[in-house]
Structure 1
Amino acid sequence: MRNDSRKHPPSISSHVLALAACGLAVAICLPLRDVLDLTNIAMLLLLTVVFIAARLGRSEAVVASFVSVALFDFFFVPPHLSFMVSDVQYLVTFAVMLTVSLFISHLTTSLQASAREASDREAHSVALYALARSLAGAISPEQAVQHVATFVREQTDGQPLFFLPDADGQLHRFPPGTSALGLDESLVLDAVFRSQASDPSCSTSGPNGPTLLFPLNGATRRHGVLLVRDCGRDGLDLLRPMLEAVASVTAIALERLHLVDLAQASRMETEAERLRSSILSSISHDIRTPLTVLFGLADTLALADAPLSGEQRDIARAIRDQAGRLHEMVEKLLDMARLQAGQVRLRKEWQAIDEVIGASIQLLGEALREHPVKVSMPPDLPLVAMDAVLMERVFCNLLENAAKYSPAGAPVTIDVATDDAGGLVIEVCDRGEGFPADSLARIFELFERGAPQLPTPGFGLGLAICRAVIDAHGGQVSASNRPGGGACVRIALPCGGEPPDIEPEPADPAGAAS
């Protein structure tokens, strides 16, 4: 049902019909002039005014009211065929008759208008319910937009345009079309979308006629703007409540589709992560034993006293070294699988960070032979509750990466300090090429290498393990590039709880006496 469902005849024709109805009523009453009292004839003429008001409208009823009084005076009040009256009291009759006819015509047309508005509201409610039901079954934004566009065209004769944001928050026509917006419409469109007001809907006028704009406000974000143009200016106020309801149900539908997409993506990511962890764990356990045997046999062959040529001995050492690298990768895969599965329980104890860092440097040994490590820390660092074994693995991975991607002789620095909350901040930095700028956001993901184009051996697991261990300790880890060149990894460890009091060691009496 459209907004202009009730069609009136042309103004001149309707007024002619009203005059014709008054003439017909007079023609019917003239033969009864000598039979009926003037009061009854006046009632018949009033009935004619009511009929005209009900069928034609307010202005026609007003004209019929004045014409009926004039005809009543001319044809029925003595002297007949004259506007003169024989009794002045007839003037009161004329005034009352005119007042009653005008009041009845007003009540009749008002009642009809109220009934028509109620009927229109009911029709709009039914249509909105049907639209909401169709949107509930929409499975894509394109389908939802198509349903709403069809509804708006049928109900308002307007042209609906939808503008939805992309991943960068920029509005685009959806679906793409050739209909261009004027400059004023573009500015208002962007203002409506960016506005922080709860109801920034507005109307504007442009070369294409009056335009209504409604934001599509969802529960989590603003999903776009609905623009309706080519609506008649006289109908803007009448159409606004209905179009606001349309914008609301459209936003709800787009919000539902958005949440469904997020849930589907999250479920697929969870399933992929679970499958990857299962595969890694299964493969790692299955190849660990034969790999250990292969490494042992290759090491035995390389160290054996059997008469081997120089080339054969080099081949045996190469097999041993490659088996060792493969064994290291399997160990990292196992660690990552355990961490992701939540099977590793932290054995936290109060530790001094300098001892953990020193143990890590000693474990690497030969790997740091060409890279001096400079450790800088204040003397009064607090103890931190941590799993020393896992934290040694973290520092070993960071120092090993720093040595791999730094030129020979370049130092590796470890700076330790405290933050405002009393926790520790550790930075491990080198003087290598640094991380590629486009990979900083994902450098701690599985199998992500900082510099994949370099021939340096690596599997992209070390930093992922570091992040998993730091997260398990409730800390944070981040990567950055140094202004003068080189990579830097920053670790923030919380210092929760009360560390135990460390009593000073008693002095040695024998040493004091000597």
Structure 2
Amino acid sequence: MAHSKQQVLQALRLADELGAKTATISAITVAEGLASYAHQFNIGRIIIGQNQTKTYHCGRSLVKLISHQDVNLDLILVNQSKKTSKRPGEHRLPSWDLTTLSSIDNRNGYLMAALGCSLVTVSLVALTRWFDLANVVMLYLLVIVFISARFGRAPGILASFLSVLSFDLFFVEPKLSFNVSDVQYLVTFAVMLLVSLIINNLAVGLRFQAQTARQREQQAISMSYLAQSLSAARKNDEIIDQATVWLIKHIASQAIVVMPNAEAKLTIVSESTVPAEFNWNVTRWVFDHNESAGLATNTLTANPMHYRALSTSNQVLGVLALMPDEVNTFIQPEQQRALDIAVAQITLALERVYYAKVAQTALIKAESERLRGTLLSALSHDIRTPITVLSGLAASLISQTLTIDEQQQLAIDIEQQANVIQRLVINILDYVSLQSGGMKLNKQWVSLEEIVGGNLRHLEHYLKTRQVQIDIPYDIEFIYTDELILSRILNNLLTNAINYTADDCSIAIKATLNPQQQYQITITDTGEGLPEGMEEQIFERFTRGSSESTTTGLGLGLALSRDLVEHLGGTLLANNVQPHGAQFVIVLPWQSLPDQHLLSNNLIPSR
């Protein structure tokens, strides 16, 4: 070979770094492969560089052979130097790769070539009376075709020579001697050997193309599997697991992925074992410089591992370190090309997850800013009113001489406004606690009637002349739930009914077991009802009804109530009733009541 595999790989790497596109072409001849590639990609000019004049078939140079394939191609030959003068009688000997010639596959091929020729010879010697010499030659050619296609060039050449020698020794007079009685047989031997060698060359070429096609098919299948597995991954850990499994199966014996953590410190994120050859200094250099290093590169080549940066167009996401099984296989151009494609797919998958996180973070930040702005706007509107009232009431207490009845009324008014602010603050705190997961359930058997009564006593001043009807059957007087959360829900719904109904309206509270054996608590008012088509929209955050300008509130009460009901494992629905009014239905999971003696023993606390 004129160049080593390492030199070829370095040349390909240099071409890639300079922005060139490299390709591996499989063809019977170099000229045919180049011409076919030029036709396929509509290339009109080929630049050929060589340091010495080299001849190919029939003493013709590569330029002449390409011109013979396509006369329309523009061929430019550069860096051509004159032949070095040779002394008379000096010839350049061909270089032979003895390691390849003595490989296990070739040794098996040599053995099969000898056995094949021997079997044909023995069979034909026994049947020589029925076979002409022309048929004998055909059978030997059949053996040559089989050996060349199955075992390659060197065993095929050996089969060619053995066939000619066997044909001369056993079938040409005088037999069992390499002498010939007729000079014409020498022409027969020469033609037979020439045809054998041509058949060998063609069979080896077809064998090489078939092997290349199979390898590329397997590579395409494996790449397709890698792409599918990476596209299905949604987290970095899943991507790295799929990538390392594929790399260990197809590229190297060990694969390590290193990525920066939250503190920007490089850490190993793959679960594979770390070999002793792994070098953190090389890894850091590759990450900082966004270049490859180690084995099969031009940088830090003494390291036995191959380091590759997982980089996008604007940043480095991590470093991939590979420990190959066989260096000669790893540095093959096809293997390196497969690695390039795999690294590109892994980087693309990691980049997809990275930008998904960036987009999600930006979305959360934008939503947080929007909610904060909405909350501040609502607070500035709804807290201003009770604070203004409180300020006026306080000024009245200071500047005027009031009777006891007037002072008592002012105290009641101050308490009402303070309760308004308290409800706003409690709703905000409950909503934040629920969204952050800090609200824990404390379910126990409680009296539904006492929860309802406590809320009505707390809202007694706001009810004014409104009539409240309570219908709680004895068999569901006790309910298994979180008392504090259910009380907050009923308080919000009753406050909503008070805010959106006139003083002469009525409010009904009814508890039943629905046909699905669930607790159902219904709060119905006789007010104006819900705005048309807003039965679901009113449960959205900061959404309020049509009387927004006259009613204090952030629009969090109903949204918080639904979230709290769902936290208890139930549902909250709203609809209008005829002839007018709104109805809110709380549905909660049912649990059978414990034995009566448990109630009498006060195991269920009285609230």
What is the alpha-carbon distance in structure 1 between the residues aligned to residue 303 and residue 183 of structure 2? 58
Q: Name 1:84's counterpart in structure 2.
A: 179
Contact 1:193 1:222 in 2 (8 A): yes
Alignment partner of 1:109 out of 200, 204, 223: 204
What is the alpha-carbon distance in structure 2 between the residues aligned to residue 258 and residue 56 of structure 1? 50
Contact 1:22 1:45 in 2 (8 A): yes
CA change 1:87–1:190 in 2 (3 A) is farther
Amino acid at match of 1:155: H
What is the alpha-carbon distance in structure 2 between the residues aligned to residue 96 and residue 168 of structure 1? 76
Pair 1:137 & 2:232 matched: yes
Contact 1:18 1:61 in 2 (8 A): yes
Name the SS of the counterpart of 2:244 in structure 1: helix
Deviation at 1:119, TM superposition (A): 1.2
Contact 1:210 1:231 in 2 (8 A): no
Deviation at 1:19, TM superposition (A): 0.9
Pair 1:223 & 2:284 matched: no
The within-5 A match list for 1:231-242 is: 231-236=325-330, 237=332, 238-242=334-338
Deviations 1:147-203 (A, max 9, x none): 1112122223521111112345443211366515537x4444333323356x77963
Deviation at 1:306, TM superposition (A): 7.3
Amino acid at match of 2:286: V
Pair 1:26 & 2:121 matched: yes
Contact 2:293 2:301 in 1 (8 A): no
Amino acid at match of 1:203: A
Deviation at 1:292, TM superposition (A): 3.0
What is the alpha-carbon distance in structure 2 between the residues aligned to residue 191 and residue 92 of structure 1? 67
Q: Name 1:282's counterpart in structure 2.
A: 378
Alignment partner of 2:355 out of 259, 267, 273: 259
What is the alpha-carbon distance in structure 1 between the residues aligned to residue 385 and residue 308 of structure 2? 66
Name the SS of the counterpart of 1:117 in structure 2: helix
Alignment partner of 1:63 out of 154, 158, 177: 158
CA change 1:305–1:140 in 2 (3 A) is closer
The within-5 A match list for 1:167-246 is: 167=262, 169-175=264-270, 178-180=273-275, 182=277, 185-195=279-289, 203=296, 210-236=304-330, 237=332, 238-246=334-342
Superposition RMSD on alpha carbons, in Å? Answer: 3.4
What is the alpha-carbon distance in structure 1 between the residues aligned to residue 264 and residue 375 of structure 2? 38
Q: Name 2:366's counterpart in structure 1.
A: 270
What is the alpha-carbon distance in structure 1 between the residues aligned to residue 358 and residue 106 of structure 2? 58
Name the SS of the counterpart of 1:175 in structure 2: coil
Stretches of structure 2 lacking an aligned partner (at least 5 in a row): 1-102, 403-417, 422-607
Give the TM-score normalised by structure 1.
Answer: 0.52
Contact 1:203 1:210 in 2 (8 A): no
Contact 2:255 2:272 in 1 (8 A): no
What is the alpha-carbon distance in structure 1 between the residues aligned to residue 401 and residue 143 of structure 2? 131
Contact 1:159 1:230 in 2 (8 A): yes
What is the alpha-carbon distance in structure 2 between the residues aligned to residue 254 and residue 196 of structure 1? 16
CA change 1:176–1:233 in 2 (3 A) is closer
CA change 1:42–1:264 in 2 (3 A) is same
What is the alpha-carbon distance in structure 1 between the residues aligned to residue 123 and residue 256 of structure 2? 58
Deviation at 1:291, TM superposition (A): 2.1
Amino acid at match of 1:243: L
Contact 2:295 2:302 in 1 (8 A): no
CA change 1:128–1:277 in 2 (3 A) is same
Name the SS of the counterpart of 2:270 in structure 1: coil
Name the SS of the counterpart of 2:176 in structure 1: coil
What is the alpha-carbon distance in structure 2 between the residues aligned to residue 45 and residue 138 of structure 1? 57
Amino acid at match of 2:139: L
Amino acid at match of 1:222: V
Q: Name 1:49's counterpart in structure 2.
A: 144
CA change 1:37–1:180 in 2 (3 A) is closer
Deviation at 1:246, TM superposition (A): 0.8
What is the alpha-carbon distance in structure 1 between the residues aligned to residue 170 and residue 369 of structure 2? 98
What is the alpha-carbon distance in structure 2 between the residues aligned to residue 227 and residue 99 of structure 1? 51
Deviation at 1:234, TM superposition (A): 1.9
CA change 1:68–1:86 in 2 (3 A) is same
The within-5 A match list for 1:111-510 is: 111-156=206-251, 158-167=253-262, 169-175=264-270, 178-180=273-275, 182=277, 185-195=279-289, 203=296, 210-236=304-330, 237=332, 238-298=334-394, 304=399
Contact 2:294 2:303 in 1 (8 A): no
CA change 1:152–1:24 in 2 (3 A) is same
What is the alpha-carbon distance in structure 2 between the residues aligned to residue 211 and residue 106 of structure 1? 38
What is the alpha-carbon distance in structure 1 between the residues aligned to residue 134 and residue 329 of structure 2? 44
What is the alpha-carbon distance in structure 1 between the residues aligned to residue 295 and residue 151 of structure 2? 36
Name the SS of the counterpart of 2:306 in structure 1: strand
Contact 1:164 1:172 in 2 (8 A): yes
What is the alpha-carbon distance in structure 2 between the residues aligned to residue 106 and residue 187 of structure 1? 50
Deviations 1:309-336 (A, max 9, x none): xxxxxxxxxxxxxx9xx9xxxxxxxxxx
Amino acid at match of 1:123: Q
What is the alpha-carbon distance in structure 1 between the residues aligned to residue 251 and residue 277 of structure 2? 22
Q: Name 1:100's counterpart in structure 2.
A: 195
What is the alpha-carbon distance in structure 2 between the residues aligned to residue 215 and residue 299 of structure 1? 72
Amino acid at match of 2:221: V
| Percentage of matched positions with identical amino acids | 35
Deviations 1:2-29 (A, max 9, x none): xxxxxx9765444222211101111222
Name the SS of the counterpart of 1:151 in structure 2: helix
What is the alpha-carbon distance in structure 2 between the residues aligned to residue 239 and residue 212 of structure 1? 13
Amino acid at match of 2:359: A
Corresponding residue pairs, total:
300
Contact 1:209 1:230 in 2 (8 A): no
What is the alpha-carbon distance in structure 2 between the residues aligned to residue 202 and residue 284 of structure 1? 66
Amino acid at match of 2:181: S
Amino acid at match of 1:47: L
Name the SS of the counterpart of 1:203 in structure 2: coil
CA change 1:181–1:280 in 2 (3 A) is farther
* Residues 174-183 or 223-232, more deviating: 174-183
Deviations 1:370-419 (A, max 9, x none): xxxxxxxxxxxxxxxxxxxxxxxxxxxxxxxxxxxxxxxxxxxxxxxxxx
Deviation at 1:269, TM superposition (A): 1.4
What is the alpha-carbon distance in structure 1 between the residues aligned to residue 323 and residue 198 of structure 2? 39
Give the TM-score normalised by structure 2.
Answer: 0.45
Amino acid at match of 2:190: A
What is the alpha-carbon distance in structure 2 between the residues aligned to residue 201 and residue 207 of structure 1? 5
Contact 2:231 2:349 in 1 (8 A): yes
Contact 2:147 2:156 in 1 (8 A): yes
Deviations 1:197-250 (A, max 9, x none): 6x7796369999953333222244221122221331121213111111111111
